[in-house]
Amino acid sequence: MQIGGTFIEDTYAEAFTLRAARVLITADSAAWAEIAARTMTGFATSVIGCGCEAGLEGVPPQSTPDGRPGVRVLVFARSAADLQDQLVKRVGQCVMTSAGSACYDDLRGEEQVRVGAILRFFGDGHQISKRLEAELFPEAGARPRRLWRIPVMDGEFIVEDRFGVRKAVAGGNFLILGQSREAALAAAERAVAAIRHIPGVILPFPGGIVRSGSKVGSKYKKLVASTNSPYCPTLRRDVETALPDGVTSALEMVIDGLTREDVERAMAAGLRAACGPGIVRLTAGDYGGRFGKHLFHLRPHLDGS
Amino acid sequence: MDELVLTYRGSGGSRIPLEAEAITPDNLRGKERGGIERLTLFHGNAKVPLGDAFEVKGAPSDRLRVLGDLALVKGLGQGMTGGRLVIEGDAGMHVGARMSGGTIEVRGGAADWAGAEMTGGLIWIKGDAGNRAGSAYRGSKFGMRGGVILVEGSAGHEVGGYMRRGLIAVRGDVQDFAGARMSAGTIFVFGRPGIRTGGGMKRGTIVCYQAPEVLPTFRAAGSFEPLFVTIYLRALAARGFDVGRFEATRRFARYRGDLAELGKGELLVAQPD
Amino acid sequence: MTQAPRTQAFRIRGGRVYDPANGIDGSVKEICVEDGRVVRECRGAAEVIDATGLVVMPGGIDIHTHVASPAVNAARALRPEDHRANCCPRRPGLRSGVGNTIPSTFNTGYLYARLGYTTIMEAATPPIGTRHTHEELNDIPIVDKGCYLLMGNNEFLMRYIKAGEMDKLKQYVGWLVTSLKAYGLKLVNPGGVEQWKHGKDVEGLDDRIDHFDVTPRQIIQALAWANEELGLPHSIHIHANRLGIPGNCGVTLETLRALEGRRVHLAHVQFHSYGGDGGWSGFTSRAKDLADYVNAHPNVTVDVGQVVFGDATTITADGPWQYRLHKLTKNKWYNSDVEIETGSGIVPYVYREKNFVNALQWAIGLETFLLIDDPWRVYLSTDHPNAGPFVFYPWVIKLLMDAPFRAEMLKRVHPRVASRSLLPGLTREYTLNEIAIVTRAGPARALGLRNKGHLGVGADADVAIYPDARDREEMFERPVYVFKDGRIVVRDGEVVETCPGRTLYADVPADDRLIKEIGDLFQAYYTVEVENFPIPLEDLAGHEAIPVGRPGARAGESR
C-alpha cells in the first residue's frame, strides 16, 4: 500500500492497558490554564521512568463548571494506586501552585481515587467542603461529587474530592522512516497537528514525538529497554536493520487514549498526515503480539483515504 | 408518558387538614386504581379512603400529578424516594418532608415545612414557600441533609434551619433566621433577607445578594471572589432556575460566624461593582 | 381488644415451669391461679390454659429503670424528636402514647407488659418531686411499681452526719420514706451532686464536701446503716461516684469495701467498671475485677446497665457526669438543681457499634454477666433509658443465652474490642433457669418482695408464658400470655386488658418524734411547707405496703 509516495507496512502496533484519569484545569485565562497544565504534565513521558504519562488534550472542553477557560489533561499510570499518587503530587505541586487555578474531574467513573480528599489538609483545618448535589449536577460518578475549597494566598483553590479512573489504552504507535531528518521531522509535526484535533488522546513525549524509540531488552542485564537498534540509521551495518535503503532518519509517534476508538482515530489521522514526500515508509514496532493486548493494524486505518 | 392524575374533590368547607402522606410515587407505583383508591388518608383523626378525597385517573406510573385546592392537604410526597410529583397549585404543609429522592414540582406556593429533614431529591416551588423550608422539626439535631430546594418566590422564617447538607435557593425574599443553627450546606438568598440571618451557624454558607443585617457575633473577613458560587449559579441556570443575571457579581464580602457557636460558617454578601 | 373472660381462675397446664425460688427448673407442672394469687388448686370453675410446649415464668421484675419522675418528664419535654420516632395511636381500651427511648406513661406500662414484665422500680426520685413521680406511676398501667428516694446529697442528712446525730438521721430518713410512700433509698454520686452546685465533683470517697464538711464515705455508710436500722426490704441502692469515667473501677471497689458486711446493691455496674487513666484512649475493661469482688462478697447485688446499640437518653441525678457528656457529645443538655436534695442532668446519646468506646462498654456489660458466678446477685437492666431502652431486654437475653450470636455481634462491632475484652473467650451460655433468676427471682429477693418473682402458693399471680422459640429474642419479645394478678393482660404480645397496678411502698412505721425539727428546717430552707410534703395513700391509684424487717438485718438473710 502506498499513499503519497509513502509505503505503509502491513503490520500492527501493540498497545497495552493503563489506568487513566481526565483532569479539567481552569484558570482566569487560557494562558494560565495552559501554564498549570504544562507544569503538571512535565516529566511525564513514560510510566517506565516518570511514574505516569500525561499531556494536554488538543481539543478544549466545550464548557467548564465555573465558565472560565479550561484545558483537559490526561494522565495514565499502571494502577489506580499509582494514578492517585501521581495526581496528588502533580495537582498538589503544579496545579494548586498555579495562579487562579481550579481542578475538576472530567471522567466520572465507577472507580475513583482520592485527590482533593488528600490535598485538603493543606488547608490546615480551614478547608471547606461543598457537595455538588446530584439534582443539580447530574453526571455523578460512584458517589456524589464534592469539591474542596482550600484557602490559598490568592483566594481559594478548588479541587474535586475524587477523580474517576478507567482502563485506557497506552502505547498506540507508528514509526516514520524518512529520507532525511528534516523530512521525518516535518512529517511527524504534521501528524502531531492532525492528532491534536482528536479528543481523548495525548502524545506524552516532547512535542508529541519520540526520537529515541526503544526496544524490549538490552545486553545489560539491569536494563529492561534499550535503543531501538534496528531503526537506528548509524547501526545498519552492526545489526539486522529494519531500515530500507534511502532512509537516514526515523521518528516514532506514541499515542495514549481513553478508549480504543480514540486511539484508532488518532492513528488514522496521524498516519494520513505523515504520508508525503521524503517519507519512505510508515511502520510500527510489533513484538510478535506478546507485548500489548490492543493491536492497531496500520493499513485498515488508511483504507479509503 | 404515563401519568397518574389525582384530582382533589375539595374539603367541603372543612378547615381540618387532610393528612395525605400516603400520596407519593413510591406508594402509588404498581398499584391498580382500586388499590390506590383504598389507600388510607386521615381527615383530622378520621380515616378516609383516598378515593373519597381524590378522583383517580390515568395509568399507574412513577409520575404523579395532583390537582385542586390543596392548601390544606398535608404531606404530599412526604418520604418519597423517587419518581415525579407535580402539584398543580398550592401545596399544604410538609410537602416533600423527609424525602430522599425524586422530584416534586409545586406550581403554586407551599405551606410550612416544605422539604423538612429531606435527604435527597429536588423540590421546586414556583410560588412562595412558607416557614421552615428544609428545616428541622422540633428537637431534631439536623434539618435538611441533602437534596435541593428551589423557591422562585419568597420564603418565610427559618429557611434551612439546622441544615446539615444540601442546597436551598430562594429567588425572592426570606424572613428571619435563615440558616439558623446550620451545620453545613449552602443557602442562596437572591432577594431581601430578614433579621438574624445565620444565627447560631456552626458551618455552612449563606450567600446574600442583598445586604443582610449582620449579627454582631459575625466577624468581617474581607472580601474575595468565591468560585464555588459561580459553579452553583451556572448549575442552577442550566437546570432552568433563572438566576443567570447574578453571575456577573463575582465579589463578595465574607463574614465568619456565628461566634456564639462553632463560628466556622460564612455569610457572603454580594458586592456589585 | 377483646373483653377479658369473666373467670378469675385459671389452670395453666402442660407448660415447662421455671421457678428458681422454689427449685423448679423446667419441669412440666400445672400452675393454678385464683383471685389474684397462685393457689394449690382452684376452688371454683377454672379456665384451662394449654401451655404445652410453652415456657412458664413469674412476671419480670425490673429493679432499676427511669420511667417516672420530674427528670424523666423533663427528658420527654427535651426530646420531641423522641416522640416522633415512635407514635402509638390509641386502640379500644388503650391510651395513645409516644416515645422511643422515653415512652409516655401509658405506653411504658403497655411496653413492659408486652415483654412479660409485671413489676418495675423507678430508680430515682427526689423527695420534693416524688408527688410528681407518683402521679406518673399512677398513669403506668398494668405493672406494679415502687420508687427509690434520692438521698445521697441531701443537705439535712449531711448536717446530721457532720453533727454525728445518727438517731435523728434515721428518723428523718424514716419520715421521708413513710411520707413519700417510697420503697427504698438511692444514692447517686454521693457528695458529688452537692459539689456540682458549685461547678465541682468529687474524685474519691474521702473528698470533703464544701460547707457541709462530710465525705462520700460518711454519706454512704450513714445511709447504709439507716437503711438496715429501718429494716427496709431492699438494701441501699448506689450509683457510685465517678460514673462513666475511665479508671473509675477503683472508686467502685472502694465503695463496696466501705460497706463490707452490709447489704448493698450497686446500680448499672457496667458504667463503673472501667480501667484506664482518665482519658478515653486508654479506656479498658475491669469487669473481671468487679466480678471477682462480687463473687467473693455475698452481701453485694448488682444490676448490669447493659448497653444496647442505638438511641438512648441519659437521665441521671449525676449532674457533673451529665455535663461531661454534654461537652463530649455537644448534644443538647438539660440540668436542674433540686433544692436541698440533689440535681439532675439529661443528654441524648447514641451508642454505635463502630465506636470503640461504645462497643467496649457493650462488651463490659456482657463480661459482667458472664463472669459473675451467682445469678442470684446479678440482674438484667439497661439502666433504661441510659444504656438503651428496656424494650431490648429480649436482645440482651439472646446475647446471654446464645454464644454464637454473641460472637457474630463481636465481629460486627469495632474491631479493637475483641483484643481489649475477655468476651471472645467467654463461652458460657445462660440457661432459662438463670434467665428466670436474673430477670425475676433474683430481683424479687433483693427487693424483699416475698410474693413476687416466684410461682409458689401465695405468690401474686403475675405469670409470663413464652413460646419456646429457638431465637431467644423472639421468644422473650412476644409472650403468648401475661397474667397480672391472675388476669390475662397480654395475649400473643398484644395488650388485651389493662388495670392500674399497685404502688409498692415500704411500710416503715410512722415516727413523728422529729417532726418539729423537720418543720423548722423546712421553714428555714425549703420553698414548700412541711405539711404539703407527705403524700396521702389516697393519692396512689393502687397501693400495697411491703413489710419492713427488724432493724439491723444482715446480708443474705432470707426474708
What pLDDT, on a 0 to 100 scale, did the predictor assign at position A293? Answer: 83
In-domain check, residue C538 = no
Residue C337: domain span = 57-495
- Assigned C-alpha cell, C218: 460518711
In whole angstroms, what is the distance from residue B172 CA to residue B157 CA?
Answer: 13
What pLDDT, on a 0 to 100 scale, did the predictor assign at position A64? Answer: 96
Interface of A with B in 133-162 (CB under 8 A): 133-137, 147, 149, 155-156, 158
In whole angstroms, what is the distance from residue C137 CA to residue C105 CA?
Answer: 8
Q: Residues C468-498, buried b or exposed e (16+ Cβ, 10 A)?
A: eeeebbebbbbbbbbbbbbbbbbbeeebbbb
Q: Do B147 and A135 touch (CB under 8 A)?
A: yes
Q: Do C79 and B139 touch (CB under 8 A)?
A: yes
pLDDT digits (tens, 9 = 90+) for C467-515: 999 999 999 999 999 999 999 999 999 999 999 999 999 999 988 899 9
Q: Percentage of chain A surpassing pLDDT 90?
A: 84
In-domain check, residue C38 = no
What pLDDT, on a 0 to 100 scale, did the predictor assign at position A289? Answer: 65
Could you tell me if B203 lies within 8 Å of chain A, comparing CB atoms? yes
Closest CA to A57 of A215, A280, A286, A257: A257
In whole angstroms, what is the distance from residue A196 CA to residue A269 CA?
Answer: 9
Chains adjacent to A (≥3 CB pairs closer than 8 angstroms): B
Look up residue C554 and give its DSSP letter: P
Could you tell me if B121 lies within 8 Å of chain A, comparing CB atoms? yes
Report, as ranges of residue numbers, the positions in chain B whose pLDDT lies below 50: none
In-domain check, residue C222 = yes
Spatial CB neighbours of A115, under 8 Å, sequence gap ≥ 6: A84, A87, A88, A91, A103, A105, A159, A160, A161, A162, A163
What pLDDT, on a 0 to 100 scale, did the predictor assign at position C550? Answer: 59
Three-state secondary structure string covering A88-132: HHHHHHHHCCCCCCEEEECCCCCEEEECHHHHHHHHCCCCEEEEE
- Assigned C-alpha cell, B211: 445586604
| Dihedral sign, Cα of residue B80, residue B82, residue B83, residue B86 | positive
What pLDDT, on a 0 to 100 scale, did the predictor assign at position C19? Answer: 98
What pLDDT, on a 0 to 100 scale, did the predictor assign at position A127? Answer: 97
Residue A4 banded pLDDT, cuts 50, 70, 90: confident
CA-based R_g, chain A, Å:
21
Could you tell me if B120 lies within 8 Å of chain A, comparing CB atoms? yes
The count of other CB atoms within 10 Å of the CB of residue B260 is 13
- Average pLDDT score over residue span C336-352: 98
Q: Which amino acid is at A189?
A: E
Closest CA to A75 of A198, A202, A259: A202
Pure H helices in B11-149: 25-28, 33-37, 50-53
What pLDDT, on a 0 to 100 scale, did the predictor assign at position A141? Answer: 64
Contact present, B63 and B2 (Cβ < 8 Å) = yes
Substitution target from B140, B261, B264 for chain C, most C beta carbons within 10 A: B140
Closest CA to B201 of B260, B142, B268: B260
Residue C553 banded pLDDT, cuts 50, 70, 90: very low
Beta-bridge mates of residue B48: B41
Residue C4 banded pLDDT, cuts 50, 70, 90: very low
Contact present, A255 and A270 (Cβ < 8 Å) = yes
Three-state secondary structure string covering A153-181: CCEEEEEECEEEEEEEEEEEEEEEEECCH
Interface of A with B in 109-138 (CB under 8 A): 128-137
Higher pLDDT, A194 or A291: A194
Beta-strand ranges (E) seen in C160-283 are 184-188, 236-239, 264-266, 274-275
**Mean pLDDT (chain A, rounded):** 93
The domain that contains C167 carries what CATH number? 3.20.20
In whole angstroms, what is the distance from residue C361 CA to residue A14 CA?
Answer: 60
Higher pLDDT, A12 or C1: A12
**Tally of structural domains, chain C:** 1
- Assigned C-alpha cell, A145: 461529587
What pLDDT, on a 0 to 100 scale, did the predictor assign at position A143? Answer: 78
In whole angstroms, what is the distance from residue C251 CA to residue A48 CA?
Answer: 64
Q: Do A136 and B148 touch (CB under 8 A)?
A: yes
Pairing between β-strand A294-297 and β-strand B54-58 as defined by DSSP bridges: unpaired
What pLDDT, on a 0 to 100 scale, did the predictor assign at position A277? Answer: 92
In whole angstroms, what is the distance from residue C217 CA to residue C209 CA?
Answer: 11
Could you tell me if B247 lies within 8 Å of chain A, comparing CB atoms? yes
In-domain check, residue C517 = no
Q: How many H helices and E strands in chain B?
A: 4, 17
Q: Vertex C162, ends C160 and C163: CA angle to 5°? A: 65
Three-state secondary structure string covering A212-262: CCEEECCCCCCCCEEECHHHCHHHCCCCCCCCCCCCCEEEEEEEEECCHHH
In-domain check, residue C110 = yes
**Mean pLDDT (chain C, rounded):** 95
Residue A145 banded pLDDT, cuts 50, 70, 90: very high
Q: Do C78 and B139 touch (CB under 8 A)?
A: yes
What pLDDT, on a 0 to 100 scale, did the predictor assign at position A1? Answer: 84
What pLDDT, on a 0 to 100 scale, did the predictor assign at position C53? Answer: 97
Q: Do A132 and B205 touch (CB under 8 A)?
A: no
In-domain check, residue C236 = yes
Beta-bridge mates of residue C543: C503
Could you tell me if C81 lies within 8 Å of chain B, comparing CB atoms? yes
- Assigned C-alpha cell, C522: 423546712
Q: Do chains B and C touch (3 or more CB pairs under 8 A)?
A: yes
- Assigned C-alpha cell, C511: 415516727
Q: Which residue of C has its CA nearest to B141?
A: C331
pLDDT digits (tens, 9 = 90+) for C248-260: 999 999 999 999 9
Pure H helices in C7-154: 70-78, 80-84, 105-114, 130-138
pLDDT digits (tens, 9 = 90+) for C82-113: 999 999 999 999 999 999 999 999 999 999 99
What pLDDT, on a 0 to 100 scale, did the predictor assign at position B45? Answer: 85
In the block, residue with C-alpha cell 492517585: A84
C-alpha neighbours within 13 Å on the C-beta side of residue B206:
42
Q: Which residue of A has its CA nearest to B239?
A: A136
In whole angstroms, what is the distance from residue B134 CA to residue B153 CA?
Answer: 15
CA-based R_g, chain B, Å:
19
In-domain check, residue C37 = no
Residues of B in CB contact (< 8 Å) with C are 137-141
Q: What is the pTM of this model?
A: 0.90
What pLDDT, on a 0 to 100 scale, did the predictor assign at position A291? Answer: 65
In whole angstroms, what is the distance from residue B271 CA to residue B266 CA?
Answer: 15
C-alpha neighbours within 13 Å on the C-beta side of residue B11:
18
In whole angstroms, what is the distance from residue B145 CA to residue A274 CA?
Answer: 57
Residue C7 banded pLDDT, cuts 50, 70, 90: low
Q: Residues A144-168, buried b or exposed e (16+ Cβ, 10 A)?
A: bbbbbbbeeeeebbbbbbbbbbbeb
Q: Do C84 and B137 touch (CB under 8 A)?
A: yes
What pLDDT, on a 0 to 100 scale, did the predictor assign at position B126? Answer: 98
Closest CA to C184 of C216, C154, C219, C224: C224
In-domain check, residue C429 = yes
- Average pLDDT score over residue span A59-77: 96
